[in-house]
Amino acid sequence: MVIGITTSGNSANVVSAMQAAKEIGATTVGLTGGSGGKLTSICQYNLIMPSTVTARIQEAHIFVGHCLCEILESD
């Protein structure tokens, strides 16, 4: 699984990485904000934070990351 994190969904390096991940058959997950940007058409799964405020999007990304870690670490 490859997770791409970008507030706009359009960061060139993240878009390129997710395209490469998709090409090799990896499961792709995009964490974005706003409308989701280019990643919405590339990633299999998209978690779009419903905000256009960068700080709020980043805070939501941190929360999601902590939730994923908690799930993975639970017995």
Residue ranges with strand state E in 1-75: 2-5, 28-33, 45-49
Per the structure, the count of domains in the chain is 1
pLDDT digits (tens, 9 = 90+) for 48-63: 999 999 999 999 999 9
pLDDT digits (tens, 9 = 90+) for 10-50: 999 999 999 999 999 999 999 999 999 999 999 999 999 99
Q: Domain range spanning residue 29?
A: 2-73
* Centroid of chain to Cα 12: 14
pLDDT digits (tens, 9 = 90+) for 63-72: 999 999 999 9
Q: What is the CATH number of the domain that holds 69?
A: 3.40.50.10490
